[in-house]
Copies of this chain bind each other. A is one copy, B any other.
């Protein structure tokens, strides 16, 4: 009963996702229009909503994909040898999330699980990100008086805070990185 689904359905879904990816790289996340999407793919609007609950749900998937790609890169780094190293490793991720206010908004909205049973894709990446960080932090040259888990929480808090600031007119990308290095040094290597 849940069998014959795969072939056509999956293909349609992939076509929608593929086209959506193109739109995003062309005009950005915020400018993606469902209407354009379905007309480009050549399916009915109803078909879109049969595959995705709503626009946010599509965004959740697309943004999570990008985050996961960045996490893949991050995972190739097996050790953090300094705070600067940590910051350099997570900067691509922060750059992406702060690339559009819209992306940051979606990220903030969907980063927490809406309900236990329906963990979104972005929420999953947060978890994965946390795991990666924690693993690398355990063996790093950082303070040992608190757990790696807590250490990770702090990194995320300072990251979000920095992104929020960077989305205001006065604060540039360079400032973001500098500020973060200072803050994380104070957080991770108190003298």
Contact = CB atoms under 8 A, between A and B. Distances in A.
A84 to B, nearest CB: 17
A18 B168 CA distance: 30
Interface string A1-43: 1000000000000000000000000000000000000000010
A98 interface: no
A143 B112 contact: no
Oligomer: number of copies = 4
Contacts of A160: 157, 160-161, 164
Please tell me the size bucket of the interface on A. 35 or more
A165 interface: yes
Contacts of A111: 164, 168
A153 B179 CA distance: 10
A165 B108 CA distance: 9
A191 interface: yes
B145 A115 contact: no
Contacts of A145: 186, 190-191
A29 B156 CA distance: 28
Contact of A169 (B112, B161, B183): B112
Pick the 3 closest A-B CB pairs, nearest first.
A112-B168, A157-B161, A190-B190
A96 interface: no
A167 B110 CA distance: 10
A182 interface: yes
Contact of A171 (B112, B146, B156): B112
A183 B161 contact: no
A183 B1 contact: no
Interface in A146-191: 146, 150, 153-154, 156-158, 160-162, 164-165, 167-171, 182-183, 186-187, 190-191
12 contacts: A105-B105, A111-B168, A112-B165, A112-B168, A112-B170, A113-B169, A115-B169, A153-B183, A154-B183, A156-B161, A157-B161, A187-B187
